[in-house]
Amino acid sequence: MIYHSSLAPDSYAADVQANLASHPGSKYLLTLGSCTSFNRVSASGTMIYAVYGGPFDTLGQACVAASRYADAYVKVLDNTTPPDQSVRQCS
């Protein structure tokens, strides 16, 4: 589950720190060099830092967790799913 993606170099540190603080137990990573289900860089060419939670055993568990946060969404994180196909809908 993705809580937030930080795209602005001048605010990476503050942005990531604020989102880690507001999402207990979350972690962050640089998408460049991570699994292939992430976009490597933003559309404007900047690096992307993702604040995320999980892993979850089922889509249902991830959806319940994501429903607690307005901007969170569920994304498959692996090395086979392309970024444009990795977001999962929670019904």
Per-residue pLDDT at 22 exceeds 90: yes
Number of compact structural domains in the chain: 1
Per-residue pLDDT at 31 exceeds 90: yes
> Which range marks the domain in which residue 32 is found?
2-88
What's the rounded mean pLDDT across residues 33-42?
A: 95
Distances from the Cα of 80 to the Cαs of 36, 43, 77, 90, in angstroms? 7, 21, 9, 21
For the chain, what percent of residues have pLDDT higher than 70? Answer: 100
- Rounded CA separation 38/31 (Å): 6
